[in-house]
Structure 1
Amino acid sequence: MATISTDAPIATLINVFTVQPDRQRALAELLTSATEEVMQHLPGFISANIHTSTDGGKVVNYAQWRSADDFRAMLGNPTAQEHMRQAAELADQYEPHLYTVESTHQH
């Protein structure tokens, strides 16, 4: 489960994909299967959440890793690279960045 806390010592990947609406479902399914088959078995994986926009034009992967080093190690994994290549082919654009949590709010 995702942990969203300012004091959690984790690396958060937020990758925003811009996609044609007719490819949104395929991209979301690819990211889901890549997570289930590969990512969740790699060292340092904590969680992943795949979101689709209601207008059909975006898919967001919100994933957490134990550290930035674990995330970078995943980038070097050949099987993970193949899934990332397939995702890039489905998307028009993608913007992966590592983030830290600056604040959280709830009611």
Structure 2
Amino acid sequence: MPSTEINADARLVTLINVFTVEPGRQRELVDLLARATEEVMRHQPGFISANLHVGHDGTHVANYAQWESAEHFRAMLANPACQQHMAAATAVARAEPVLYSVDSVHHI
């Protein structure tokens, strides 16, 4: 089963989408994103993984998601079912999505 891999040699693209949400709505956003991932996103071609991170400040949520390619990610963006879930998320929070490639990894 595919899993999150942080490796400079992997030929994947990583979406880091940082959401800013009003205090008190963080859990609502996380639940919405988790539901969208389970119901729709993980079934899209090229999906590898998604990881939701909650900010200790109560106003941020980060989605760290990996896709086989930028083309797979763009195809997901064009899917009406995915658009519906993304619109629901952006109705709750401001999103700042950016695609990345791993450049280097450092360990102890």
TM-score range, shorter chain: over 0.9
- In 2: Cα distance, 1:46 partner to 1:75 partner: 15
Normalising by structure 2, report the TM-score: 0.96
Match of 1:47 in 2: 49
What CA deviation, in whole Å up to 9, does each residue of 1:70-100 have, x standing for no partner? 0000001111000000000000x21000001
How far is 1:46 from its partner? 0.2
Match of 2:30 in 1: 28
Match of 1:94 in 2: 95
Match of 2:61 in 1: 59
Moved over 6 A (4+): none
How far is 1:102 from its partner? 1.1
How far is 1:49 from its partner? 0.1
- In 2: Cα distance, 1:43 partner to 1:102 partner: 24
Match of 1:104 in 2: 105
Q: Which amino acid aligns with 1:61?
A: N
- In 2: Cα distance, 1:5 partner to 1:32 partner: 24
Q: Which amino acid aligns with 2:47?
A: F
Specify the SS of the correspondent of 1:21. coil
What CA deviation, in whole Å up to 9, does each residue of 1:40-70 have, x standing for no partner? 0010000000000011010000000000000
Match of 2:77 in 1: 75
Task: Give unmatched runs, 5+ long, in structure 1.
Answer: none
What CA deviation, in whole Å up to 9, does each residue of 1:7-62 have, x standing for no partner? 10001000000111211000001110100000100100000000000110100000
- In 2: Cα distance, 1:57 partner to 1:67 partner: 30
Normalising by structure 1, report the TM-score: 0.97
Q: Which amino acid aligns with 2:98?
A: H
User: For this pair of structures, how many residues does the alignment match?
Assistant: 106
Specify the SS of the correspondent of 1:102. coil
